[in-house]
Amino acid sequence: MDLKDIIRDYPDYPKKGIIFKDMWPTIEDPDAFEHILKEFENEFRGKIDRVIGIESRGFIFGAALANRLKIGFTPIRKKGKLPGETISTDFELEYGSASIEMKNESLKGKNILIIDDLLATGGTVEAAIKLVEELDGNIISLGFLIELDFLKAREILSKYDIFSIVRY
């Protein structure tokens, strides 16, 4: 299945010069969603103990994959959205700055997949990596539905394995 036929482009969104890659049609299409989950499952079955999904679309792929693999799922959320004790980090975005957090629970001895829908500049996943490593998680890979090669995030994240299903 060629997911590029399903992912929609929106030129000049959210600002002029950007071509927004809309992945939602891959979720709306049950065959496409199943294809994505099988790709992730084939890549990571037997290699990971925990899936960590980045808000919000990383939750969709991450929770579904964790369920298929019969392992745990942990969310990384925007600051102020999780109850209990958390750890957080700030990071820069193309349009400003943001903060993310996760539960302050040890990941020692856990082989981790961090998953999200899109790898663009790498800022969000770098922040997620910082949190997981602070909790002693062993990052096995970073998984994405879409990777925008021309933004060269792979160079910034060169010490990590990166698995992307669709690359532009």
Q: Which residues are catalytic?
A: 57, 94
Task: Using alpha carbons only, give the angle 82, 87, 92 rounded to the nearest 5 degrees.
Answer: 95
Tell me phi and psi for residue 32, to 5 degrees: -65, -45
**Residue with tokens 């698995």, as numbered in its chain:** 163
Joined tokens for residue 74: 């942990």
Distance CA 159, CA 168 (A): 21
Non-local CB neighbours of 86 within 8 Å, separated by 6+ positions: 101, 102, 103, 104
The amino acid at 93:
L
How far apart are the C-alpha atoms of 95 and 71, rounded to whole Å? 35
